[in-house]
Structure 1
Amino acid sequence: MEKHYLAIDIGASSGRHILGSVKEGKITFEEIYRFDNGMETKDGHLCWDVESLFAKIKEGMKQCKKIGKVPLTMGIDTWAVDFVLLDEENRILGNAVGYRDDRTKGMDDKVYEIIPLKDLYERTGIQKQIFNTVYQLMAVKEEKPEYLEQADSFLMIPDYFHYLLTGVKRQEYTNATTTQLVNPETGNWDYELIGKLGFPQKLFGQLSMPGTFVGKLRPEIEAELGFTCQVVLPATHDTGSAVMAVPMAEESGESKEDILYISSGTWSLMGTELDRADCSKESMEANFTNEGGYDFRFRYLKNIMGMWMIQSVRKEFAAAGQDYSFAGLCQMALKETIASIVDCNDSTFLAPKSMVKAVQDFCRRLGMQVPETAGEVAAVIYNSLADCYRDTVRELEAVTGKHYSSIHVVGGGSNAEYLNRLTANRTGRTVYAGPGEATAIGNLLAQMLAAGEFEDLKSAREAVYRSFAITEYKPDHM
Structure 2
Amino acid sequence: MKNIYLAIDIGASSGRHIAAWVEGGRIEMREVYRFPNGASMKNGHLCWDIEALEGHVVAGLKAAGDMGLAPAAIGIDTWGVDFVLLDKEGKRLGDAVAYRDSRTEGMDRELEQVLSFADLYSECGIAKQPFNTVYQMMALLREHPEYREQADDFLMMPEYLSWLLTGKRAHEWTNCTTGALCDARARGWSEIIRQAAELPERWFRTPMAEPGTLLGPLNDETAARVGYQAQVILPATHDTGSAYMAVPAKDKQAAFLSSGTWSLLGTELSQPVTTEAAMRSGFTNEGGYGGTTRFLKNIMGMWILQCIHQEIEGKHSFAEMAQLAAASGYPAWIDAADNRFLAPKSMLEEVKAALREAGAPEPADLGDVLRAVTMGLAVCYKEAIAEMSRVTGKRFTGINIVGGGSQNVVLNQWTADVCGLPVYAGPTEGTALGNLAAQMIALGDFADLAAFRAALPASCDIQTYLPKG
Counterpart residue type for residue 85 of structure 1: L
Aligned partner of 2:308 in structure 1 is 313
Please tell me whether the aligned partners of residues 12 and 79 of structure 2 are also in contact (alpha carbons under 8 angstroms): yes
Counterpart residue type for residue 323 of structure 1: K
In 2: Cα distance, 1:385 partner to 1:152 partner: 42
User: Is 1:415–2:416 an aligned residue pair?
Assistant: no
Please tell me whether the aligned partners of residues 111 and 196 of structure 2 are also in contact (alpha carbons under 8 angstroms): no
Please tell me whether the aligned partners of residues 259 and 273 of structure 1 are also in contact (alpha carbons under 8 angstroms): no
Counterpart residue type for residue 340 of structure 2: T
Aligned partner of 1:275 in structure 2 is 270
In 2: Cα distance, 1:259 partner to 1:210 partner: 24
Percent of residue pairs identical: 47
In 2: Cα distance, 1:397 partner to 1:425 partner: 18
In 1: Cα distance, 2:145 partner to 2:418 partner: 48
Counterpart residue type for residue 338 of structure 1: Y
Please tell me whether the aligned partners of residues 140 and 148 of structure 1 are also in contact (alpha carbons under 8 angstroms): no
Counterpart residue type for residue 299 of structure 1: R
Aligned partner of 2:37 in structure 1 is 37
User: Is 1:85–2:80 an aligned residue pair?
Assistant: no
Counterpart residue type for residue 298 of structure 1: T
Measured against aligned partners, the alpha-carbon deviations of 1:29-72 in whole angstroms (never above 9, x if no partner) come to: 01111111000100000001111001011111111111111100
Alignment of 1:303-342 (within 5 A): 303-318=298-313, 323-342=315-334
In 2: Cα distance, 1:292 partner to 1:201 partner: 22
Q: Which runs of 5+ in 1 are unaligned?
A: none
Aligned partner of 2:281 in structure 1 is 286
Aligned partner of 1:210 in structure 2 is 211
Counterpart residue type for residue 214 of structure 2: F
Counterpart residue type for residue 212 of structure 1: T
From 286, 290, 295, the equivalent of 2:290 is 295
Q: Could you tell me how far 1:347 is from its partner in structure 2?
A: 1.8
Q: Could you tell me how far 1:197 is from its partner in structure 2?
A: 1.9
Please tell me whether the aligned partners of residues 13 and 36 of structure 2 are also in contact (alpha carbons under 8 angstroms): yes
Counterpart residue type for residue 316 of structure 1: E
Alignment of 1:71-470 (within 5 A): 71-204=71-204, 205-249=206-250, 254=252, 258-318=253-313, 323-470=315-462
Please tell me whether the aligned partners of residues 110 and 138 of structure 1 are also in contact (alpha carbons under 8 angstroms): no
Q: Could you tell me how far 1:370 is from its partner in structure 2?
A: 2.2
Counterpart residue type for residue 186 of structure 1: A
Measured against aligned partners, the alpha-carbon deviations of 1:277-336 in whole angstroms (never above 9, x if no partner) come to: 001111100110000010111000000000000010011001xxx611110011111110
Q: Could you tell me how far 1:200 is from its partner in structure 2?
A: 1.0
Q: Which runs of 5+ in 2 are unaligned?
A: none
In 1: Cα distance, 2:192 partner to 2:117 partner: 16
Q: Could you tell me how far 1:371 is from its partner in structure 2?
A: 2.0
Please tell me whether the aligned partners of residues 264 and 296 of structure 2 are also in contact (alpha carbons under 8 angstroms): yes
In 2: Cα distance, 1:310 partner to 1:157 partner: 25
Please tell me whether the aligned partners of residues 188 and 206 of structure 1 are also in contact (alpha carbons under 8 angstroms): no
Counterpart residue type for residue 316 of structure 2: Y
Counterpart residue type for residue 272 of structure 1: T
Counterpart residue type for residue 306 of structure 2: Q
In 1: Cα distance, 2:143 partner to 2:256 partner: 39
Q: Could you tell me how far 1:372 is from its partner in structure 2?
A: 4.0
* SS of aligned partner of 1:260: strand
Q: Could you tell me how far 1:348 is from its partner in structure 2?
A: 1.5
* SS of aligned partner of 1:231: strand
* SS of aligned partner of 2:186: coil
Q: Could you tell me how far 1:338 is from its partner in structure 2?
A: 0.5
Measured against aligned partners, the alpha-carbon deviations of 1:164-199 in whole angstroms (never above 9, x if no partner) come to: 000111111010001101111111111232123210
Equivalent pairs counted in the alignment come to 468
The alignment's TM-score, normalised by the length of structure 2, stands at 0.98
In 2: Cα distance, 1:196 partner to 1:367 partner: 42
Q: Could you tell me how far 1:465 is from its partner in structure 2?
A: 2.1
Please tell me whether the aligned partners of residues 263 and 298 of structure 2 are also in contact (alpha carbons under 8 angstroms): yes
